Structure 1
Amino acid sequence: MRCLRALVSFFTIFPVKAELDFSCAWALPYVVAPLTGGLAALAFFYLGPLPSYLLLLLLTGLNHLDGLADTADALMVRERSRARQVLEDPRRGTAGIFAVVASVALALFYLKSPWQLLFAELFSKAVTVILASFSRPFKEGLGSTFIGSVKRKWPLAVPALAVVSIEYPWATLCSTALSLFFYYIAYKHLGGANGDVLGYLLELSRVFFIVSSARL
């Protein structure tokens, strides 16, 4: 129970007091996704696409957007050591701003149903756990702790992905391929992953699913 509280505390803005504990990080799609995606889906019924998606971003504490922006900035720098320095720079560059604006705009344009929000969150969290399980961190930090906690535990996230694929089979396939491709680009460029790269993956995979589920 302590670990589950820690997941809610770290991955959402809910005021849950808990010490950092990623020992059950594999449960991310089962604990956090129903909270963030469920509340956003409920808001969709009453408020529509724009407020519900903004609520979803707010519920995650905007942490994923931060990782997306930082990673996008780093991808604009060819030399790896310099790219890693840019990744740690708290200032936003042009690429980071573009990535954030483009991702939000795409999600809002293709968001047609509250179920997209719920299943997109399940998909995003499950895919991140699975890919992180096969990743190598390039520095010590929260990202390396998360990766170490989910190592060889990726099968535990497969049921969540299976549930999503039953409802949205082709969207799941397309989103998985896109998520893997864009994660590989960042992973290869930086020589591994950290918390920002995982946040980049969480954000993009959600957007990819919303777009794919609207078109297929």
Structure 2
Amino acid sequence: MKSLWQEWLGAVIFYTCLPLPPRCPIKLAGAAKWCPGVGVLIGGLLFGADWLLDLLYLPRLVQGVLLVALWLGLTGGLHLDGAMDTADGLGVRDPQRRLAVMADSRSGAFGVMAAIVILLLKVSALASSTMPFSVLWAAVWGRVAQVWAIARYPYLKPTGTGQIHKVSCRVPWDFWPSGLVLSLMSVILPLSLGQLLYLHSLGLLLMLLVPAWFYHQVGGHTGDTYGAVVEWNEALMLVGLSVAQGALPPL
């Protein structure tokens, strides 16, 4: 139990910028399996912020911008930075140079363009959506997809921030927090059976497709592509929920 608690604290400290005491006993090995729980934490804070912004009667577009800005603040831009580095790497025609380009801390044109597209998708989807729990589902499923990418695909670098997650990954043990989080959300949140089927079908589809696409482009995964998986899954999940709101009752 103590080890699980240390893994959870390690996940919160590694994946967020929340102000935890600096001397918390953390454990990074095995912490990645708690990513969906971190998604609940981030999504819950964003949902609360969205509720407070509603009280101010701000335009939905302004709320969307503020929520995405808070989203970046909570994560420190960790995943978006990975998505940008991945885009820069994919912009190189020579596959042999992609890892070297991704390791370069300087942002290139492709990385900037990817960041703009991701942020615009999130802002526009939040601004057009009437589904109050969409940000929570996006934050959770984006990180379930990351756990899948870590467990399913090879890690390409001998060192790096993502290596410890891959080396300590244990399948199928590492998926029990994901199943627990998704099950509890399905029971607690006031959703119909049709809504749940759509949410889980969309989340499962993106979980399978997005990491697989990066695998086929790069030949495996790195810490950067793990971040890209989170960002693109979140953005596409929000878009999918926004598109479906006309056909589904409001969430």
Same fold per TM (> 0.5)?
yes
Distance 2:93 2:202 in 1: 28
Equivalent in the alignment of 2:220: 192
Equivalent in the alignment of 2:241: 213
Equivalent in the alignment of 1:26: 33
SS of 1:150's equivalent in the other structure is coil
User: Following superposition of structure 1 onto structure 2, how do residues 1-216 of structure 1 map, counting pairs within 5 Å?
Assistant: 1-16=5-20, 17=22, 18=24, 19=26, 21-30=28-37, 32-47=38-53, 48-111=63-126, 112=129, 113-139=131-157, 140-152=159-171, 153-156=173-176, 157-162=178-183, 167-216=195-244
- Superposed displacement of residue 11, structure 1: 0.5
State the aligned residue count. 215
| Contact 1:71 1:200 survives alignment (8 Å) | yes
- Superposed displacement of residue 171, structure 1: 4.0
- Superposed displacement of residue 168, structure 1: 4.1
Are the structure 2 counterparts of residues 198 and 34 from structure 1 closer, same or farther at C-alpha, using a change threshold of 3 Å?
A: same
- Superposed displacement of residue 92, structure 1: 1.1
SS of 1:105's equivalent in the other structure is helix
Q: State the AA in 2 paired with 1:109.
A: S
| Contact 1:80 1:191 survives alignment (8 Å) | no
Distance 2:87 2:139 in 1: 21
Structure having the higher helix fraction is 1
- Superposed displacement of residue 86, structure 1: 0.7
- Superposed displacement of residue 81, structure 1: 2.0
Are the structure 2 counterparts of residues 162 and 213 from structure 1 closer, same or farther at C-alpha, using a change threshold of 3 Å?
A: farther
| Contact 2:82 2:224 survives alignment (8 Å) | yes
**Unmatched 5+ residue regions in structure 1?**
none
Distance 1:57 1:215 in 2: 24
Are the structure 2 counterparts of residues 148 and 20 from structure 1 closer, same or farther at C-alpha, using a change threshold of 3 Å?
A: same
Q: Which has the larger radius of gyration?
A: 2
Distance 1:76 1:46 in 2: 40
Are the structure 2 counterparts of residues 10 and 90 from structure 1 closer, same or farther at C-alpha, using a change threshold of 3 Å?
A: same
**Unmatched 5+ residue regions in structure 2?**
54-62, 187-192, 245-251
Distance 2:71 2:152 in 1: 27
| TM-score, normalising length: structure 1 | 0.90
| TM-score, normalising length: structure 2 | 0.78
| Stretch of structure 1 that moved more, 58-67 or 21-30 | 21-30
- Superposed displacement of residue 110, structure 1: 1.2
- Superposed displacement of residue 211, structure 1: 0.7
Distance 2:184 2:120 in 1: 27
